[in-house]
Amino acid sequence: MTNLLLMAGVFLFFFIVGYFLISRIPTLLHTPLMSMTNAISAVTILGVLILFSAASTKSEQIIGAIAFIMAAFNLVGGFVITDRMLRLFKKKQEGAQNND
C-alpha cells in the first residue's frame, strides 16, 4: 500500500509541475515539445513493461495498464501528427504541378 501511495504522490507532483511548465511554453515551441512528450511516453511504456516483469499487486497492474494505454495513445498520436506536419513541407510531385 505504501508503494501505491508513493507512486500516486509522485504522479500528482509531476502532473502539477508538468502542467505549469507546459502552460508557460510559447506556441512556437509546441512542435519540439510534442517530440519530447513522445520520448517521455516511450520511457513510460518501458517503465510499465519493467513493472509488469516484477511481482506486483493487482492495483499496481491496473494503474500500469492505464499508464501503458495512455502513453501508447500519446505516442501513436504524436507520430501521426508529426507525419501529417512533415507532409506539409514535402515538395509537390511533378504530375501535380502539370494540372494547372
Q: For residue 22, is it within any domain?
A: no
Q: For residue 16, is it within any domain?
A: no
Domain encompassing residue 36: 31-88
Tell me the C-alpha distance between 96 and 100, whole Å: 8
Query: Into how many domains does the chain fold?
Result: 1
Q: For residue 3, is it within any domain?
A: no
The pLDDT tens digits of the residues spanning 48-72 come to 888 788 877 888 888 888 888 988 8
Pair 12, 63: CB distance under 8 Å? no
Contacts with 99 (C-beta within 8 Å, 6 or more apart), sequence order = none
Q: For residue 14, is it within any domain?
A: no
Is pTM beyond 0.75 here?
Answer: no
Contacts with 38 (C-beta within 8 Å, 6 or more apart), sequence order = 74, 75, 78, 79, 82
Q: For residue 52, is it within any domain?
A: yes
Provide φ and ψ at 57, rounded to 5°. Answer: -80, 170
pLDDT band at 95 (very low <50, low <70, confident <90, very high): low
Q: For residue 56, is it within any domain?
A: yes
Q: For residue 9, is it within any domain?
A: no
Q: For residue 1, is it within any domain?
A: no
Q: How many residues does the chain have?
A: 100
pLDDT band at 97 (very low <50, low <70, confident <90, very high): low
All three cell numbers of 77, joined, read 498520436
